[in-house]
Structure 1
Amino acid sequence: MNGFFKRLGYFIEDKRGLVIMVSILLLVAALFGATRLTWATGIETMLSADSQVYKDYQEFNDHFGAETVIVLARADGLSKLVELDNITGLDAIEQQLSTSDGVLSVVGPGFALRQAMAQLTGEAVLPTDESTLQALLLEDGVLRPEMKSFFPTDNFGIIVITMEGGVTTDQVNALVDEAKTAIAGISFDGMEASVTGATVIFAEMQTMMSTTMGTMVGISLLLMLVILAVVFSIRGFFTWRWLPLGVVIIGSVYAFGMMGWLSVPITMVSMAILPILIGLGVDYAVQFHNRYDEEARRGETAAEAIIDSVTHIGPAIAIAIIAACLGFGALFLSPVPMIRQFGTVLIIGVIACYLVSLFILLPVLYSHDRRKGLDSAVEKKKQKTVRTADNHTGIVERGLARLAPWVIRNPLLIISVAAIFTIVGVGLDSRIPTETDENKYISQDLPLMKDFNDLAALSGGSAAFNILIKADNVSSPEVLNWMLEVEGRVLTQSVIPVVGASGIADTVAQMGDGQIPPSQEAVDQALGMVPDLVKANLLTDDQTMANITIRTGAGLNTEELQELKTVVEGYLASPPAGVTATVTGQGVIGIELMNSLTSGRVEMTLLGIVLVFLGLFVLLKFNAARALIAIMPIAMIIGWSSVVMYLGGIKYTALTATLGSLIIGIGVEFTILMMMRYNEERQKGESPVVAMTTAMTKIGRAVITSGLTVVGGFGALLFARDFPILTDFGVVTMINVGFALVSSLIVLPTIIVAIDMRKERKLAKITA
């Protein structure tokens, strides 16, 4: 491998102009690719399109529409809520939105009042006077029970807009914008209205994600500037230490360009990738810059410095990159699409950052030093004269030189403490809860989420499940009676709180004194009396599909939802001949996501460890001991991380579920760099103690700088205040990278030296 990288060093030194020109052409292509980037915020980011759960949900959505937009009206009291002018304003909103593109039905106070007037006068119009309005809405000064669906309390009114199945994101966004415009055009008295609902949250998320990404990138760049200015001390003028950051920005453009060309969308998970790439990329660039600077300080010419840098640090970083990609590759095992996409982008990104460090950073350094005359004989002599002054040890090196003897002397203490925390963490891991409600991934303090939570409280719960009934004729008396029986059993027999179970069967039964009409003709007559806007969400036009909605009490956890789903499926086990019933809806999505994030998370972590070990085993010339030593200190961090999450009350999410594979991929770089520098010193004939002290002192500064840049990249996630999923991930990952530094600088050295000294003692006994 060293031979290949030495030839690569000669190529970069000789063809630097060509290398930079090709890099520029690729940058232009990447910029074009970046314009093809798209956003994804829907169910397709959480469930595989090939899964049966996703197919069932889409089939239901295509026929009954799963996308709903809610207009939530807040009044100062009942008198304002039922005031004629305010009711007229709500009805105007209903009428305007009912003609919008992609809208299936609009049901609200205006709809209910028009139906009531139709029964009284034969004409579906709004009341024109206060007395008639009050008579329809109130009984003894209290809202009539039949109006509670539209006025759940004395302060709130609700309009429900259901969209057709298969609507596009643009149609949803257009409806949300039109609803806001309609509300703005009404002058309410003592009342205000807003647009809410899960569909609205997803529609608004793209704007929020774009804003948050801009903030995170800005913060990460600022953190990198500060970290490099404080920690990364190199030759030349002060701003030269920021060169790695500039190069990595180009690498990030390459990565995002590849995302565009490969049609990988930006999701709630992958939106975190840019600050992460900046941190990881600067890490790799710093290693190359630090080694080049070290070679130049020794008095080497610019040509010698670039060739020796590529020869010595190139293989180490390449091995680290391959190991990292193998760790990230374990994310492909996840059933969650946005986690798999996160793994894809990570692999593309780290490879791009490695390549720009090789083919842009080093040629720029070389060209700069050539222009400064570093290759001239006079300048070379000057460098040799002053190199002692240039090679002064800084505070970091001095600290590491003092730490090394203590680490080497205390292997038993260090390994014991590390092992204990690992064992405790593994035991606590199963006690860490998993958050599957995607709405909780967004800050609950946002006005948008406050409206949504108010809506959930008003509705008495949430629509957990939908039952999709299919038959040649779902409106036959036999099928309707069976559906009515299922609804009754769900409401009365389930041990899990259910606040509602409704569909076309109970709607028809209400028109027949609680009974399903005995003949098809009578059923058809009853169906003809059901308003089209109500029927559209309960029964297809060809009467081959029907929808039963099951609403649960608020606050059910995933285990309770799974139990309810099992119970409901039991009630559906013996349908009439020719009838099929499928349980779908948001509750099923939550259950599936929970299963994916729990079982998939453990499997991803274990696969990551195995893949990295096998990769190192091959790359380190089939030396199993060295591969095990490189990965073991980092694998311990997974246990330490569980301790932090448990004590910090941090839940597993779609992002924190990737922590195991992610930290293996990131942390193994530090151990590989330390091991290879130690081996380099040992090959010079140094003893284990001297070799490790030198390795910790020389490579330790770069490792710490690299670690801090990675921490800085993840630290930018802390400023994503609108997305707790990102801030929690940022906190835990920053701590884990800190653990990786501790493990690489304390746990790894003591293991390596202890093993080598034991080998030397055995060899000494044999030769004695």
Structure 2
Amino acid sequence: MEKIYEALARFIERHPRWIIAIALVITLAAVPGITMLETETGFSALVSDEAEISVNNARYEAEFGGEPFTVLLTGTTEDILSPANLEQMAKLEQFLLSDERYCCVTSPLALLEAVTGATYKENPEVILYAVFDQQGNLNPVITSLFPDSEHGLVQITPAGNLNDNDALLAAQTIENFLGENPFQNVSTTVISDAGLINSITISIGSNIAILLGLAMAVMIVVLMLFFRIHWRLLSLGMVGMSAIWTFGLMGYLSVPMSMATMAVLPILIGLGIDFSIQFQNRYQEEITRCGSVGDAIITSISRMFPVVGVGLLATIAGFITLFVSDVPMIKDFGLMLSVGIIFSFILGLFLLHSVVYVADRRTPVEKLKTKSKQASGRIERMLTILGRNAIKHTVWVSLIALMLAVAGGYFDSRLAVNTDYEELMPQDEPALEEVRHLREITGSGGQLRFLIEASDVASPEVIGWMKEWGDQALETYPQIRSVNSLATLITQSTGGIIPPAEQIKGIISSSPEIFTYGLVSDESSMASIAFNTSYISMEEVHDLISNLQELADTPPGISVASVGTMALGAQTIDSVIGSRMLLNLLCLVAVFVIILLSYRRLVSAVLTVLPVAAVIAWSSMVMYLIDIPLNPLTAILGVLIIGIGTEFMVMINGRYREEKGLGETPEEAMVTAITKTGRAVMATALTTLGGFAVMIVSSFVMIRDFGIVTVIGVLLCLLITLGVVPGLIVWYDNIINKNRKKRAE
């Protein structure tokens, strides 16, 4: 293997300009890919299209249409129902129903036309007479569309299964029509999930630019202050180029930008810079011992390639386990981080050494040696003291670490969960404020919908079961405000009883379409039941759906499936949080196998995996104490900690093994490892912290919380790498040496 490493180093020494040229060409080729990046912020980023709930929801929307748009009318009831505005409602309905993107319009006018049998265009007097009764009260048929005396509602059901862009265009078409045909003395606001998703999309674009600029600025400051070597910003250039390659490839492969993949940028900069810093740090060290720049590069690569290579494999193994996740954006997150880390390694190995060789080869070696020694003195003295203390106080330090890990395991099971995208997006977005304003006016948090299928959903047996289910739900769960189903329509017509089959079919066929739409399919094989709820958290929604399905006690021959945006949102709790422990376990196993196969020493694998697992537990305790919940990003913190912690420990352990091989005692070898490699680990940790810390200023609550917990995680990884693990390794090796001496005697 040594010959392979040396041959690789000599190849770089002989062809530096070609390597630089190729890297620049690839970078230029990647730039157009970045312009092709598309954003995906709907539920398709959180729930796979192949998931059962997605399939059922697609079937539901194909039959009953998509998530309704709401037009909020702000004005007095009299103004909203004035002749001029009723005429505008008639124009709006005619305009929308002539467009195949819209299925149904439920407005005060549409309901009045349905119950009177007249149209406003032909018989406006009949409609106007039906608005109020003789006592001046609103017609009961339209009261549901007037939550108070200052607001009215128009519900518009779009065609089902529109993609985010088409749904947004459909909502904007309504806005444009209302802008060109305004109501008199009444303001209109179109509120839709599509508008909320578009708001998130725009915010992602602006957040990326801010995060990139801040991450670069912070890392420049960190490297200038703490990585005091020649060409100290070169490592940042390498990782910046790897980010261009990664995001360019994302564009070419049509991997979408989401709230998760947006976080790839600062994470990649923080993690990927480690390889370049480690290579550059070792070159800086070797130049003090070698007679030429070429020899220093060859020695550096020969020593560092196997160690950094093991770190790379272990980190990638950890990130690849994210493919087990059921959440599409988490899979994309794992894919792009893995690719980005590989690019960072390649650039650190080939391009960095090529640039260093071209830049330094004409500089006198003695001058380079002097600069290197001046740069490394102070921080190495500090690390030497840290290393000696870590070894000296192994027992009590390890006991404290163990007790905190046990406490962390206890608190982990008590972490709160938040997968509500409304609460995870920027809180000052106008679209979100409109949604919340509508919620305050109506008092409704949304609808829990269920798709019901049977050979005949209009049979008395199925209708009776639906009525019983709805009645029990209203009695059992106070958060349910009302129920709407085919059973509701039938029993309202019959005074609460379930009539014979022929009478049911007669009621359905004679009812205006506006009352039956969304309740039953034409062939009576599908039906819908909607539970209107007050506003509750997504975790409560998740539990309520489960309770309702259990309460249904579905008879044979009937199937029930939860559908709609609330159900899709609740599904992310199972997808994200349910697989969290599995992801962590698989990641630890993957790292264990890689370390074991690489070093062929069980203790090396154990003393890498167990400390990393302890850091995961510590982080959970901190999250609990500072009240940060699990969300789609913080739920994968464990995998990230494993990647960072493993990288740090592999670097220290690799140098320790190297120094031991040169004849040093375990104590001396570990102090040397911490002193020499620890400098690069410290620089990496600080730059990584800088990369993650910028996420704290993100307006995305999910990104901000992730930034906070990852900063804490990196600090804890650094603490256990330099303060706990070294003592354990030395303690174990001393025991082995004593046993060998006893056997030798």
Give me the TM-score of the superposition, normalised by structure 2. 0.92
Off by >6 Å, runs of 4+ in structure 1:
126-129
- Name the CA shift for 1:448/1:680 in 2 (closer, same or farther; >3 Å): same
Q: Which moved more, 1:599-608 or 1:274-283?
A: 274-283
Q: Secondary structure of 1:502's partner?
A: strand
Give 2:107's aligned residue: 108
1:685 to 641, 660, 663: 663
Give 1:501's aligned residue: 483
Give 1:644's aligned residue: 622
> Displacement, 1:299?
5.0
Q: How does 1:472-483 map to 2 (within 5 A)?
A: 472-476=455-459, 479-483=462-466
Give 1:596's aligned residue: 575
Give 2:693's aligned residue: 715
Q: Partners in 1 of 2:113 and 2:122 — Cα distance?
A: 5
Q: Partners in 1 of 2:733 and 2:90 — Cα distance?
A: 82
- Residue type matched to 1:467 in 2? F
Q: Which moved more, 1:434-443 or 1:588-597?
A: 588-597
Q: Partners in 1 of 2:443 and 2:134 — Cα distance?
A: 23
- Name the CA shift for 1:134/1:363 in 2 (closer, same or farther; >3 Å): farther
Q: Partners in 2 of 1:579 and 1:560 — Cα distance?
A: 23
Give 1:312's aligned residue: 303
Q: Partners in 2 of 1:15 and 1:615 — Cα distance?
A: 32
> Displacement, 1:496?
5.5
Deviations 1:542-576 (A, max 9, x none): 4432211122232256367435534445535226x
- Name the CA shift for 1:403/1:139 in 2 (closer, same or farther; >3 Å): farther
| Equivalent pair of 1:2/1:315 in contact (CA under 8 Å) | no
- Residue type matched to 2:9 in 1? G
Q: Secondary structure of 1:555's partner?
A: coil
> Displacement, 1:328?
1.2
- Residue type matched to 1:745 in 2? L
- Name the CA shift for 1:367/1:667 in 2 (closer, same or farther; >3 Å): same
Q: Partners in 2 of 1:429 and 1:78 — Cα distance?
A: 52
1:214 to 196, 206, 209: 209
- Residue type matched to 1:421 in 2? L
Q: How does 1:410-429 map to 2 (within 5 A)?
A: 410-429=393-412
Q: Partners in 2 of 1:394 and 1:97 — Cα distance?
A: 75
Q: Secondary structure of 2:577's partner?
A: helix
- Name the CA shift for 1:20/1:200 in 2 (closer, same or farther; >3 Å): same
Q: How does 1:724-739 map to 2 (within 5 A)?
A: 724-739=701-716
Q: How does 1:102-501 map to 2 (within 5 A)?
A: 102-115=101-114, 118-119=116-117, 122-125=118-121, 136-137=131-132, 143-185=138-180, 191-235=186-230, 240-298=231-289, 300-370=291-361, 373-374=362-363, 379-380=364-365, 383=368, 386=370, 390-391=373-374, 393-476=376-459, 479-492=462-475, 494-495=476-477, 497-501=479-483
Q: Partners in 2 of 1:499 and 1:314 — Cα distance?
A: 65
Q: Secondary structure of 1:166's partner?
A: coil
- Name the CA shift for 1:519/1:641 in 2 (closer, same or farther; >3 Å): closer
| Equivalent pair of 1:463/1:549 in contact (CA under 8 Å) | no
> Displacement, 1:355?
0.7
- Residue type matched to 1:669 in 2? E
| Equivalent pair of 2:538/2:570 in contact (CA under 8 Å) | no
Q: Secondary structure of 1:148's partner?
A: helix
Query: How many matched pairs?
Result: 745
Give 2:728's aligned residue: 751
> Displacement, 1:49?
3.0
Counterpart check, 1:617 vs 2:596:
yes
| Equivalent pair of 1:97/1:175 in contact (CA under 8 Å) | no
Identity of aligned residues (%): 31
| Equivalent pair of 1:457/1:554 in contact (CA under 8 Å) | no
| Equivalent pair of 2:545/2:567 in contact (CA under 8 Å) | no
Deviations 1:242-266 (A, max 9, x none): 2222222221122223333444322
Q: Partners in 2 of 1:100 and 1:211 — Cα distance?
A: 34
| Equivalent pair of 1:81/1:155 in contact (CA under 8 Å) | no
- Residue type matched to 2:67 in 1? E
- Name the CA shift for 1:413/1:512 in 2 (closer, same or farther; >3 Å): same
Q: Partners in 1 of 2:626 and 2:566 — Cα distance?
A: 28
- Residue type matched to 2:68 in 1? T
- Residue type matched to 1:573 in 2? T
Give 1:527's aligned residue: 508
Q: Which moved more, 1:131-140 or 1:182-191?
A: 131-140
> Displacement, 1:26?
3.4
- Name the CA shift for 1:662/1:229 in 2 (closer, same or farther; >3 Å): same
Q: Secondary structure of 2:72's partner?
A: strand
- Residue type matched to 1:250 in 2? M
Gaps of 5+ in 2: none
Q: Partners in 2 of 1:557 and 1:440 — Cα distance?
A: 10
Q: Which moved more, 1:194-203 or 1:522-531?
A: 522-531
2:527 to 528, 537, 546: 546
- Name the CA shift for 1:318/1:134 in 2 (closer, same or farther; >3 Å): farther
- Name the CA shift for 1:134/1:305 in 2 (closer, same or farther; >3 Å): farther
| Equivalent pair of 2:587/2:639 in contact (CA under 8 Å) | yes
- Residue type matched to 2:105 in 1? V
Deviations 1:511-567 (A, max 9, x none): 4444555463x5455335533344332233344322111222322563674355344
- Residue type matched to 2:484 in 1? S
Q: Partners in 2 of 1:532 and 1:293 — Cα distance?
A: 79
Deviations 1:219-256 (A, max 9, x none): 21222222222222112xxxx32222222222112222
> Displacement, 1:702?
1.1
- Name the CA shift for 1:382/1:555 in 2 (closer, same or farther; >3 Å): closer
Q: Partners in 2 of 1:382 and 1:495 — Cα distance?
A: 79
Q: Partners in 2 of 1:54 and 1:392 — Cα distance?
A: 58
Q: Partners in 1 of 2:391 and 2:461 — Cα distance?
A: 81
> Displacement, 1:189?
6.2
Give me the TM-score of the superposition, normalised by structure 1. 0.89
Deviations 1:283-325 (A, max 9, x none): 2222222222222344541211221221112221111111011
- Name the CA shift for 1:143/1:713 in 2 (closer, same or farther; >3 Å): farther
2:632 to 629, 654, 657: 654
Q: Partners in 2 of 1:296 and 1:64 — Cα distance?
A: 72
> Displacement, 1:763?
4.7
Output the aligned Cα RMSD. Answer: 3.0
Q: Secondary structure of 1:538's partner?
A: coil
Q: Partners in 2 of 1:107 and 1:164 — Cα distance?
A: 14
Q: Partners in 1 of 2:85 and 2:432 — Cα distance?
A: 25
Q: Partners in 2 of 1:306 and 1:127 — Cα distance?
A: 91
- Name the CA shift for 1:132/1:747 in 2 (closer, same or farther; >3 Å): same
Counterpart check, 1:571 vs 2:562:
no
Q: Partners in 1 of 2:342 and 2:333 — Cα distance?
A: 14
Deviations 1:4-50 (A, max 9, x none): 22221111112223333433443354345445533322333222333
> Displacement, 1:637?
0.5
Give 1:4's aligned residue: 4
Q: Partners in 1 of 2:112 and 2:102 — Cα distance?
A: 21
- Name the CA shift for 1:724/1:126 in 2 (closer, same or farther; >3 Å): farther
